[in-house]
Each structure stands twice: as C-alpha cells, then as structure tokens.
Amino acid sequence: LSEDDVNSLLDAAAGLKGPDGKRLRALVELCYATGMRVSELVGLPLASLLRDPEVLIVRGKGDKERMVPLSMPARDAVRDYLAIRDAFVSEGTTNPYLFAGHADKHLTRQRVFQLFKNLAESACLDPRKVSPHVLRHAFATHLLHHDADLRTVQKMLGHADISTTQIYTHVLDERMRRLVAEHHPLARRSSEN
C-alpha cells in the first residue's frame, strides 16, 4: 500500500461513527503505527494501554517482548476506543484483552481481516489488497523509504533474523538507483551527452 492508500484507510476509519467505528480506528491506527502481527494486535492485554503509554511492549513470537513507540494518532484512537470499550464486553464479565471478543476471549483474527476488507471498500481500495499483514508491510516499507535503518525496523517488527526484514529492502534498492542516477558524476555526465 502506498502512503496515500494508508491515509485513505485511516481517513475512512476516522469517519466511522459509534463503538464499531472507534474500535476499527484503534485497530487500524495501532496496526500501522506499530507494525504488529494481527495475532499480537488482538492479543494485546488491556492493561498494556490503560495509562496512555508512549511506548508499547508487544509480546511476539516465541514469547519475546519488544518495545514499539506509539504515534500520537494511535494513542488518540486508543483513548477514544477505551472510552467505549465496555460496549464490547459481555455484561457481568471482565475481559483482559484490549480488543474484547466473546466471554473472556479476544477479537478473532478472522474478524479483524473482515473488518479491514470492509474498511478497504469504504476507502475505495481493492479489499483483496488490504489486510493487517499488508499494513505491517506498509509500516516497514514506509519507514525504510523515510530513511529508517534496517536494524531498527527489524527490532520493531520483532524479526529474530535480519534476513526476514530484508524482504522490505526493495524500497532501498530503488532509492539507491535513484541516488546514483541523480548524484553520481558519471550518471550526470552521460545524461549531458
């Protein structure tokens, strides 16, 4: 997804009303702001976000923890969602997850996929090209495009091996080609002839 596509998704989510809209906005903002896997997103404990943290501790694969900074729009979306979260909790029960599902369970991955597909349609995007994983990919790609270093992106994604993160370096390859074409003396010389 391009940055414009992501902005269209975020705008569409922000325009939704009611508890469902606030929940979806929080899901999309957190997904794009952190690059979390969908399983990490739905499994977030409620306690991890109650105090409006600037940094989120995410428990990833292999039960490994990592710290991911939260953007202000993501924090705002979560704060708005927390104000109405009880609408998703069965009466007389408590639910330990930020994104509550039935009983004491979390929202399912399948439900999140469906919500993202519906949102894509609202944003006039191809729903086949929008999913939590695609937003995770956009998170990494956009960071690299804006000069984040590969190691930092690796840590934020929770990749144990940097080679896994290198799938996102197609952005770097294109930027290197452009850099050489625009700034290397021989490249400029050949265009002058």
- Hey, which residues are catalytic here? 37, 61, 133, 136, 159, 168
Closest CA to 57 of 85, 36, 82: 36
Left if phi > 0, otherwise alpha if psi is -120 to 50, otherwise beta: which for 16?
beta
**For the residues of 2-28, what is the DSSP string, one character each?**
-HHHHHHHHHHHHT--HHHHHHHHHHH
Q: How many CB atoms lie within 10 A of CB 14?
A: 17
The amino acid occupying position 61 is K
Q: Both tokens of residue 90?
A: 């069965």
Task: For the chain, count helices (H), then strands (E).
Answer: 10, 2
Q: Hey, which residues does 106 pair with through a beta bridge?
A: 100
